[in-house]
Structures are given as C-alpha cells and as structure tokens.
Structure 1
Amino acid sequence: MTNLKKPFLNFREAKSFAHSLQLKSREDWLLYCKSGRRPMKIPASPHLAYKEKGWVSWGEWLGTGIIAPQNRKFRSYKQARQFARSLRLNGVSDWQMFCKSGNRPDDIPSRPNSTYLGQGWISWADWLGTKNVAPQNRVFRDFKKARAFARALKLNAQSDWKEYCKSGSRPTDIPAAPHKVYRNLGWISWGDWLGTSKIATQLIKFKSFREARKLVRSLNLKSINEWKQFCIQQKPKDIPSTPDRTYRNSGWISYKDWLGISN
C-alpha cells in the first residue's frame, strides 16, 4: 500500500487559518498541535514547511505582530538615542519601567546596550542623556584648557576646589580629581592647577641642610619662637618651616644647632 503524503495548503491560506485561531505565541501553537485538532493540510512546523515560500516569523504567522529580536529592524543608534533622550529618564531603572509600560516603539530596542554594541554604544548615561557617565568613559578637556578654567575660578586651595566640586557647578568635562586624570599629561601641583603658585611641601626643592643652617644662623635668632615668627613673615621658599622633619636624616641635630645658639 502506497503511503501518499497529503499536500499542505499554500502559505497564504495556511496563515489565514493560523490567524483565525487567535493564538498568542509559538508555545500556544505547539500546544494546539498537540491537542490533535490541527488539520492534516496545516503543517505543525510551518517555519520549515514554508521556508522560502513566504515564511517571515511566528508573529506574522499567528498575526500577533510580534517579531523575534534577531529579525527586527531598529532605528540607527543616533536616531534611537535621540528618542531615548527625549524621554528625560534618569537611569536604567527608569528605562526598564518605560519598556514595561508598553509605550516603547517596535523599532527601539529594550536592550540597546546589546543591540548597538559595536555600533555606537557608549554607556547608559550617554543613551539617556544624563550626566552620570562612568569615569572610564568620560572625555575631559586637555590639561591646559582645564587648568585655565580652574584658575579662572580664583580658588585658594585644594579644599576650596573640593567644595566647588561638591556644589554641582563643575562642568562634566572638567575632572574632580585632576591630579589623577592629568598625572602624566601636564600635572604639576595644586598650586599650579589653581594658579596660586603654592607648591605642596613634598614637591618643594629646599636648600641642603648646611646651606639652610648657614642662612638661618646668620639671622641671629635667639629662640624657637623667633624662628616661628620669621617663618610667618619672611622665610624664603627654599627654607623649610619644619627643618627637624625635612632634614631628619640629612644632618639635623637640634633647634639650638639650627639657630646657632650656644647655650
């Protein structure tokens, strides 16, 4: 006895039948096929039976309009990002809530970080247009331009800079930690950065112990108090105010020796 294989309906007729079932997903279709109600002229695997004969997607087969992610055509990265920024969302959680709301257009991906990877994607902050860009992705002004900006603020110390950064007025292309960002790109000191000419103690080049002591002894100071007053009023930059620390391992004996006091 010959086993004749009955032909299936053509794609359009079969699809029309599938639409009439009002199923919502491929899983629903599989359950329907298992129920035993599927006509013989309708294939259980339409994606195989109608391959290159009209098949597009399960969403198109069932009439749900749902298209598998890999088959969707999304807007270009710049166009999609422009749309995302227009929503004025504040973070990833807001974006996820928006996607769940049902208001997301079909040509805007719910996971842009995957869809546009290698096609322009930078960060969620860039996608949403927020200022919270991950440090490694920030683009700062070059050192000279950033320093000119910092000097224009006329701040007096590193502590003033920190307070300024906390105020929220700092532009995003000016780093809060310039000593780290510009470490090998021009950074000298906080005094240089702020334009105060102040140099951190560890960066000052002092006279040698003998040269410094010779100068100090020539002042004929009689006590440590007189030395402190001298430091406040007239001390040269290349003479340390705390010689006992600076010259601890390079000749220091005592303040009497430093000042040249015999008794």
Structure 2
Amino acid sequence: MPEKFDFLKIKDQKKFEKLPQKEREEIIGEAQEEASLINEIVGENGSKEDYEIITKLAEEEIISKKDIEILKEKYNKKIDDILNSQLTVENIETFADNALTQITSFVDDVLSQYQKYHNNKFAVIDHAEQENQALAFFGLPDIPNILQSIIEVKEKIDNLKAYIGINIAKNNIVITPPDNNKKINAGDGQGIEQKRMFPRFLTLLYILKYDFDISPNEAPAIIGIVTPDMVRQTTYMRMEIPVLNRVVYLCDEEGNVSYIFDVAKIEEQNLTLNEIDIYTKIQKNLLISRHPGIGIRIKQTNIWRNNITSALREPISEASLLKNARQISEFRRGKGEFLSFEEFQCEVISLYSGEKDVRKWYCQERRNHPNWQANPYRKYKDKGWEGWSELVGKENRLKKDFLTYTDLKTEVKALYPGKGQVKPWYNSEQKKHSNWPSAPEKTYKNKDWNGWPELVNKENSLKKEFLTFEDFQNEIKNLYPGNGGMERWYHLERKNHSNWPADPYKKYKDKGWEGWSELVGKNRFKKI
C-alpha cells in the first residue's frame, strides 16, 4: 500500500518529489479516488465537518469510506422498503400506524450511527437538528415530508371509516343468502368459532377514492341483514358504481368471496340488481359461467386489492385476475400523477370514436388509461375544462352564439312563407341555421320575446282586442239574417270579423253572455 503524505508539510512534499515516477502516480491516483469517494458519500449537502469526520475515521481505520457508502445504500434501501410497502385488505387498518412506527425507529437508528462517528459532539444541538444532520450525512430524503404523507394516508383511512359508520343504507333482506338454506346445527355446546374479518368494504372505498377518484357519495352502497340461524353472521353489501358501470358484492367475514358484475351486461339478460341481490353464491357462480364477461368471482388472496382494481378498470374476464401484485406506493402518490389538461385533451381527441354521447364513450375508454380521471370535470375545473363536447372539439349546442332577437326576427320574417303555423315551420327551418336557437321562447325570454306570431309579425289571436259584449251583441243582431242555426252562422260569419272571438261563450262569460239565442234577442223557451 503506498505511503500517505501530508502535502501541507514541506518535509512530506520533498520526500514525495524524490519518489520514482510510478510510485508518485500511484499515490496521486489513490488520493483522487479517495477524494471522489468522500464527495460521493457526503454528497452535495455535506458540511465541512462531514468531510473531516469521514477522512479521520478512515485514517484511524475505525471505519472505511467504503463501509460508509454501504451504510448509505442500506439506509436508502430500508426507507424505500417502508415507503413502497403495499396497502392491502389485510393491513389497511394498521398500515399507516405501522409505517409511522417503522420510520421513527429508522430515524433513531440513523441518528445513533451518526453520533458514533461524531463522538457524541451534540451536547449543544437540539434533537431535531441532530436528526437533520444525520439524515443529510447519509443522503436520505426529507423525513418530515415522509411523515406528513403517512399522516395524510392515516387521515384518509380514518375518514372512510367514519363514512361507513354513518352513511350506509340498510335493506331488510339477506343479500347473497346461503345456498340450500344452510343453518347452524345444534353442535356440541362449544360455541361458534370466531371468523377472521377482512375490511374489504373499507378497502374498496379506498380503491375507488384514491385509485379512481370516485368519492363514496358517487358509489351508493346498501347492506343487508343476517338471520340468527345463518352460519355467516356478517352481512353482504352491494355497492353500485355508475361511473364504472359496475356493481360489487362483498362481505368482510373470512371465507366469503367477492363478486363484481358489469351492469350493462346484467341488463342485457333482462335482470335487475334486486334480483342479483337475492341470488345465492351458487346462482351467482352459474350466472358468471353461463354468460362470460358478465361478472367475476374474486377470492381472498394477498393480491385481492389488485384483482378488484383490475376488474373495475378493465373488461371483466377471468384472464384479468393478476398473478402478481402491482406495486403501489401510498406514500409516494404524486400530486401530478394525472396528465395536464392539455395532454389529457390531446389524448382524448386522438382516441375519440365520434360517438354522440362523449361521456358514455369516455367512461368505457377510460378503463384503458390509468392516468385518465374518473371525473375530469372536477380534476380540471379552472384548468381548461368547459364541457364534454369541448373536450373532443365538438360544438356544444348549449353554448352557441345565437343572433340577437332583433336579427333573428328579421331573418325569420324574410324566410317565413306567410302561411301555416309559425312554430312547426320554425322547428323545421331552424336545423339549417346554427345561430337560430331551438327554443327561442327560452333563449329570448326577458329579451323582447312576445310569442310565435309576433316573430313573423302575424296577428296573435291570443292578444286580439275584442269588442265589449254590448258592441259585439249589437253587431251580431245587425248582421244575423234571422233564420238558420245561430251557432253555425256565427262561425261562418266570424271569418270576416277579426274582433269576434272564436268562443264568445268563454270570452263573455260573466260579462252578459246567456246563450246563442239570447245573443240575437231570441228565447229558446216559450213563455207560459
């Protein structure tokens, strides 16, 4: 091993200069390698003291620089293991608490190791500052932020638990009743073995909220009942998820499978959810086997969460069941996992099939895109979202720029043929004019709209100025020939008088009207 030199000392400098060229090169090479390793270990944020400590430890052979590098790798791997731990149906209730405990223990371990290197030179430094220095020394991530992310996950789970406690509707039926009416036998008096509980319902709510951005309020759930003589003493529940076109049946009690059905395919079989509710497991299994793609049966395994997610997101198929768990870090869910609105819109437009119902198409297509939001109108509110039509570049008929009422009236009058009812003609003609509203009576309400006749300057029979009853009766008496049916004569003659009402008995009710005969001074009944 080459001799070490302190180049700050003149004596060592002269001694070094007398060495053979090859030996000098070895010493220089080792010094450069050592400096590079120290830089790598300490990192960009390392202090002068950190450099001195590592150098001194290495010189005193207390620990090699390579050992410190190994420790850095070990600590970073350990924190990665904690942060990448999987939230599952088995651990959801203790998941965040376990992570907090592990992180706290980890920081204590790192601090203890760092203190050894510093020979306990922390007498005047508070504990938090000691931790910060230790974490920086080993190049570890920002622990306070990690702790905050763990606390946030814990709060998310606690909020969902609270929701379950007060917001789930109850139905007075046994959902997924026992096959063959299985009942508890009398037994040997030892009691019923306590079944393990898996918080599947809580996990499903978590999946929907944080994998699909679907709030519990958007997925109505009901729970059924159990009867005292049933072996299973925990009810099945049913959750509808309209956004995904799915319905889920699950039970938290050990030994009970979960079911997911495609609602559209259930309807194709002329079945209702109320009917599926009371299907036994055997009946549900038969339905699935006879109609591939209608539903799937999911057993409890260590990848239950992943299989549930897959069956919600992708077309239902036995092949969609996963063999291995997908890695999902709850503590590293990026705030920007989803696309920006511009990127999102570009993707959607490039894939849009041209269907009239954009939202229906989107809900189907979204299953193929984990970075598409379940509710884009919420995610991209104030970030570019205008509506489903605008998302794919279609014209939104609800947001057209229509003519002013005056301009519309001018155009309509110029095109109206002059006969026939105005409204039916307008509805037919409007299809040729994108700037004519389909319901002008609504568009121009409070904006000069008076009625369909006025739109083309026709007389509005509903707004005619009719004669007073006295003047009306005098005109009738003067014109009536005195013979023939009075009512028939009136309707023929009325065509010549715009101020005669079509139904005088209504118009002049309580204003002098007594009858057709009395109108011309006749009396239908002979006086005795």
- Matched AA of 1:93: K
> 2:505·2:513 contact (CA, 8 Å) conserved in 1?
yes
Q: In the alignment, is residue 70 of structure 1 matched against residue 335 of structure 2?
A: yes
Superposition deviation, residue 124 in structure 1: 2.3
Match status 1:220 vs 2:487: no
What TM-score, normalized by structure 2, do the two folds share? 0.34
Query: Contact 2:423–2:452 at 8 Å: present in 1 too?
Result: no
1:245 aligns with 2:506: yes
Partner of 1:204: 464
Partner of 1:154: 416
Displacement, 1:13?
8.9
CA–CA separation in structure 1 for the residues paired with 2:480 and 2:392: 68
After TM superposition, give the deviation of residue 51 of structure 1 in Å.
2.0
Provide the C-alpha distance between the structure 2 equivalents of 1:248 and 1:227, rounded to a whole number of angstroms: 17
- Tell whether the 8 Å contact from 1:131 to 1:172 is kept in structure 2 after alignment: no
Q: Which residue of 1 aligns with 2:405?
A: 143
Asked if residue 177 in structure 1 is aligned to residue 442 in structure 2, the reply is no
Instruction: Specify whether residues 216 and 72 from structure 1 end up closer, same or farther in structure 2 by C-alpha distance, changes over 3 A only.
Output: same
Describe the shift of the 1:113–1:205 C-alpha distance in structure 2 as closer, same or farther (beyond 3 A). Answer: same
Letter in 1 for 2:87: E
Q: Secondary structure at the match of 2:479?
A: coil
Aligned to 1:98: 365
- Bigger radius of gyration, 1 or 2? 2
Give 1:101-120 correspondences, 5 Å limit: 101-102=368-369, 109-120=373-384
Residue 179 of structure 1 aligns to a residue whose secondary structure is helix
Q: Note closer, same or farther for the CA distance 1:131–1:76 as it changes in structure 2 (3 Å cut).
A: closer
Aligned to 1:37: none
Aligned mate of 1:230, from 477, 493, 498? 493
- Unaligned 5+ runs, structure 1: 1-5, 35-39
Among 59, 71, 87, which residue is 1:27 paired with?
87
Query: Relative to structure 1, is the Cα distance of residues 83 and 198 closer, same or farther in structure 2, using a 3 angstrom cutoff?
Result: farther
Runs of 4+ aligned structure 1 residues displaced above 6 Å come to 40-43, 52-55, 62-67
Tell me the CA shift for residue 210 of structure 1. 1.5
Aligned residue in 2 for 1:51? 142
Q: How many angstroms does 1:242 deviate by?
A: 1.8
Contact 2:427-2:438 at 8 Å conserved across structures? no
1:211-235, Cα deviation, whole Å (9 max, x unpaired): 2222232323433322221123x12
1:113–1:121 CA contact under 8 A, matched in 2: yes
Greater helix share, structure number: 2
Cα gap change, 1:248 to 1:182, in 2 (>3 Å):
same
Percent of residue pairs identical = 15
Which structure carries more strand by proportion?
2
Q: CA deviation at 1:152?
A: 5.2
CA contact (8 A) 1:189 1:200 kept: no
Check conservation: 1:244, 1:254, Cα contact below 8 A: yes
Distance 1:109 1:12 in 2: 37
TM-score, L = length of structure 1: 0.61
Cα RMSD, aligned residues only: 4.9
Counterpart amino acid of residue 520 in structure 2: L
